[in-house]
Amino acid sequence: MQSHLEDLYPTRISPEPVWQERKVPVLYPGYSLPSPLSAEQARQFEEEGFLVLPRIYSEEEVAIFRVEVERLRTDPEIRASEKTILEPQGEAVRSVFAIHRDNPLFSRMASDERIAGVASFLLGGDVYIHQSRLNYKPGFTGKEFYWHSDFETWHAEDGMPDMRAVSCSILLTDNTTYNGPLMLIPGSHRHFIHCVGQTPEHHYQKSLRKQEYGVPDHASLEKLAERYGITEVSAPAGSALFFDCNIMHGSNSNITPFPRTNLFYVYNHTENTVQDSLLTRLPRPDFVAESRNFSALEIRPERFV
């Protein structure tokens, strides 16, 4: 690790949006043998920046996860925790952070080879969890998440050097086109869009409820959407969605009665650990971005029933 790493993606500095090309590969092939993905799946992830693996968890496993999610969502202690984020203008729980550390069940899941094995394959080596959370988008009142690149935030606010991280979302409810599913711009992961405006101190407390900084400009979003189109992720409960850390994504609100609940794990390569030297502000708290324990996950097959 270098002590004065060069900032390869200097976002939130220029008064005008800047486009930059990605500097590292999307896929680091040849690492894991046998591959957990087909050649076609690997190619799709590389080109489009995301991949859905349908129903990798059984109905019985999903039922167990949902019971635990419901327990967390209604536990007054969890609700009062600083690691829990509520909906803007509401009291409903939106996210619970650091579930890979605090929750025994979801900690085991983080190491499960069905997801961690895929992350390690995509990133070409040892991985650790940069961030984990449970996302609960309730029925009737679920609000939108505006467009963003996760890497833009993790780079600017956590000091993540480069794009060698992948998110894995485990769907615990069916995701349809109408209950506020994740929307992705496939191909956008190859471009880094500098965001305009500086990051205020303690930004994370507000930004996890409603994004105001690190927001891409309208013209860039129009250009990306015109060029690549928009894909909505529709998949049944038990499916996993992997998406590149730099893909542009967001979601609309959810007025349907059907909640959208998922578990979210960010795998980062152990050679891409966050660097304080890249930050101009205080780092975000440890439950949002791992800043101490970068030891590689021990990946193993887990069974939950």
Which stretches within the chain are classed as H helix? 39-48, 59-74, 76-80, 99-102, 104-111, 118-123, 150-153, 203-207, 218-228
Cβ 277 to its own copies, closest distance in Å? 34
Interface with its own copies (CB under 8 A), residue total 27
Amino acid found at 198: Q
Shortest separation between residue 82's beta carbon and its own copies, angstroms: 28
Which range binds its own copies by CB under 8 A, 58-66, 98-106, 110-118, 173-181? 173-181
- What whole-number distance in Å separates Cα of residue 98 and Cα of residue 19? 32
CB of 258 to its own copies, least distance (A): 7
Asked if 178 interacts with its own copies (CB under 8 A), we say yes
Q: Which is nearer to its own copies, 105 or 208 (CB)?
A: 208
Is residue 91 within the footprint of its own copies (CB under 8 A)?
no
Residues 183-212 that bind its own copies (CB under 8 A): 183
CA 42 to each of CA 20, 31, 115, 274, 278: distance values in angstroms, whole numbers, following the listed order: 24, 13, 14, 26, 31
Q: Which residues contact 222 (CB under 8 A, 6 or more apart)?
A: none
Comparing CB distances to its own copies, the nearer of 183 and 237 is: 183
* Shortest Cβ 254–its own copies spacing (Å): 7
CA angle 242, 107, 27 (to 5 degrees): 25
* Smallest distance from its own copies to CB 222, Å: 4
User: What angle is formed at CA 205 by the lines to CA 203 and CA 211, rounded to 5 degrees?
Assistant: 65
Amino acid code (one letter) for 298: E
Q: Is 181 helix (H, G, I), strand (E, B) or coil?
A: coil
Instruction: Indicate the residue among 113 and 217 with the shorter CB distance to its own copies.
Output: 217
Are 230 and 184 a contacting pair, CB within 8 Å? yes
Looking at residues 131 to 150 of the shown chain, list those that interact with its own copies (rule: CB under 8 A): 139-140, 143-144, 146-147
Helix, strand and coil content of the chain, in percent to the nearest 5, comes to: 30, 25, 50
Residues 6+ apart with CB under 8 A from 33: none
CB of residue 290 vs its own copies: minimum separation in angstroms? 29
Give 122 or 235: the residue with its C-beta nearer to its own copies.
Answer: 235
Q: For its own copies, which is the closer residue by CB, 74 or 280?
A: 74
Determine, following the binding rule CB under 8 A, whether residue 30 of this chain makes contact with its own copies: no
Paired strand residues for 193: 19
Q: Could you say which residues in the range 221-280 bind its own copies, by CB under 8 A?
A: 221-222, 225-226, 230, 232, 250-258
Please, which residue, 217 or 302, has the CB nearer to its own copies?
Answer: 217
180 binds its own copies (CB under 8 A): yes
Binding site for its own copies (CB under 8 A): 139-140, 143-144, 146-147, 176-178, 180, 183, 218, 221-222, 225-226, 230, 232, 250-258
